Structure 1
Amino acid sequence: MTGLPMRLIAALWDVDADALRGERLHAALAALGATRLQVNVCDDDARGGLAMNHFEQPIEAVVAVTGGDSADVLAALGGVAGTVQAWRTALRAPLDPDLPVGERVDALANVAFLRRPDDLAYDEWRRRWLDDHTPVAIDTQATFGYYQNIVAEPLTDDPTGVVAIVEELFPMEAISDVHAFYGSGGDRDELNRRITAMLASVSRIGAEKNIDVVPTSRYDYPLS
């Protein structure tokens, strides 16, 4: 993870989504030394997107904070959410388009929480994920943004063992159109080929089970 930018990622429950996007929290985080805030919320715009749950309760929002002391940032987030679970992560961005700030990104933003199978060593799991799976995921889906967050350490209790958090940006049509999700252009044979390749790759890292997938709307805020 040497040389990769670090940031705090938190999953939130019992959350005030308006407060997440509000000036009061942003000013508080900026005063703590945070320089950037990303907010992903499960809202009506993302409703209907693919969702999978492994946590006891479905995640309501995900935030990523760059800069600031982790304990202070967690305390600030605790003011807008009843439950916060967080990790310190290293960011890779194989697909990183220019995105608007301060407004909703025109995309379905799927956030996935990955866990390593017990029978697969971490180094091999990570190699399969980063080296083998990444190009398959990009080539077989209609993603135009792809972000990989490698967990360096949990910052709160994590009984479920999250080792990575991935965000993929899809066109909004992907919520209801499987061809738009996979980028298969309406070709049924091509759709089946892409699904088969994706599922085979996913199974090699154990992400066909014990995974959370959270369909969200994304907002980005510079804080300094």
Structure 2
Amino acid sequence: MEKVIVLLRRADADDAWCERLRGPVADELLELGFPGVTVNVRDAEVRDPVITLTVLDPPVMALVNLWTQQSYGEDVQAALALLAKECDDVAAYLVTESAPLPPPRTEPGERADALANVALLRRPAELDEQTWLDRWHLDHTPVAIETQSTFGYVQNAVVRALTPDAPVVAAVVEELFPMAAVGDLAAFFGAADDADLQSRMERMMASIARFGADRDVDTIPTSRYVLRSPFTDGAA
């Protein structure tokens, strides 16, 4: 089975659009028979976080994860045609998924009780792919888990783009934080006090700088809805 991530960029996305995407549009995706479908939308619950970075214009306002038997199959092509009607630009990527902290289960269609923060990473030109992956996967992963209040952490390394003119992205990171992290930096990092917060932030920044994630990064705060999980029978 393969995992496809679809980024939806739109300049005028509002809550009605978010509801449509996770409602009627998601239902049409399910009808295409995908073993797994997850929809993340930047809605009112998470729209104004304490931390956000934006490179792409228009920005990414939603993320759709599809699990499929063929990333080049008719189901994926139909899904991309459907999603293209809902945004200014759609970009799809075949990825390999690693889950250092698998997200907790939710009922199908239920909003995860979390800030689902998505980051788009680019590999710096001065780092070869293996060095970049080692510094990200092997060196940074334990630091990210130890310095933040993350309780779900999924790393998606991009294999290749599946749509023409897709923005260059090396990886898509999905992290779940407590809802308090939307507006509270201490809650985001799980810090006990100001000194602890400063220590955690300094350690985190030093770690991400080693693989270039301190620059040229998009972060997208979202609400996460698992419509169908490929890993369970019914529950997400």
State TM-score, norm by structure 1: 0.90
Which residue, out of 197, 207, 210, partners 1:201?
A: 207
Q: 1:67 to 1:124 in 2, by over 3 A?
A: same
Paired residue secondary structure (1:21) = helix
What is the CA-CA distance between 1:27 and the residue it aligns to?
A: 4.3
CA deviation digits over 1:30-50, x for unaligned, max 9? 343312211111111002212
State the aligned residue count: 218
User: Structure 2: how far apart are the matches of 1:154 and 1:46?
Assistant: 28
Change (3 A) 1:153 1:221: same
Q: Contact 1:142–1:180 (CA<8 Å) still a contact in 2?
A: yes
Higher strand fraction (1 or 2): 1
Moved more, 144-153 or 8-17: 8-17
8 A contact 1:19–1:80 mirrored in 2: no
Does the aligned pair in 1 maintain the 2:103–2:176 contact within 8 Å? no
The 5 A counterparts of 1:45-84 are: 45-49=45-49, 50-67=51-68, 69=73, 70-84=76-90
Question: Which residue, out of 7, 10, 23, partners 1:11?
Answer: 7
Taking the aligned partners of 2:31 and 2:60, their CA distance within structure 1 comes to 27
| 8 Å contact from structure 1 (residues 6, 91) kept in 2 | no
Counterpart of 2:85 in structure 1: which amino acid? G
Aligned residue in 2 for 1:91: 97
Question: What is the distance in 2 between the residues matched to 1:36 and 1:220?
Answer: 8
> Of the candidates 129, 142, 146, which is equivalent to residue 135 of structure 1?
142
Question: Residues 1-224 of structure 1 correspond to what in structure 2 (within 5 A)?
Answer: 6-14=2-10, 16-23=17-24, 25-49=25-49, 50-67=51-68, 69=73, 70-100=76-106, 101-158=108-165, 160-185=167-192, 187-222=193-228
Q: CA–CA distance in 2 between the matches of 1:36 and 1:73?
A: 13
- Cα distance in 2, alignment partners of residues 159 and 65 from structure 1: 17
User: Residue 204 of structure 2 aligns to a residue in which SS?
Assistant: helix
Q: Secondary structure at the match of 2:197?
A: helix
Q: Percent identity?
A: 42
Q: Which whole-Å CA distance do the structure 1 matches of 2:164 and 2:206 have between them? A: 32
Which range moves more in the overlay, 13-22 or 109-118?
Answer: 13-22
Superposition deviation, residue 178 in structure 1: 1.3
Separation in structure 2 between the aligned mates of residue 198 and residue 108 of structure 1, nearest angstrom: 19
**Deviation digits for residues 122-169 of structure 1 (CA, Å, limit 9, x no counterpart):** 111011111111110010000000010111110123564201000110
CA distance in structure 2 between the partners assigned to 1:182 and 1:27 by the alignment: 35
C-alpha distance after superposition, 1:191-217 (max 9, x if no partner):
111111100001011111110000111
TM-score w.r.t. length of structure 2? 0.86
Q: Which runs of 5+ in 1 are unaligned?
A: none
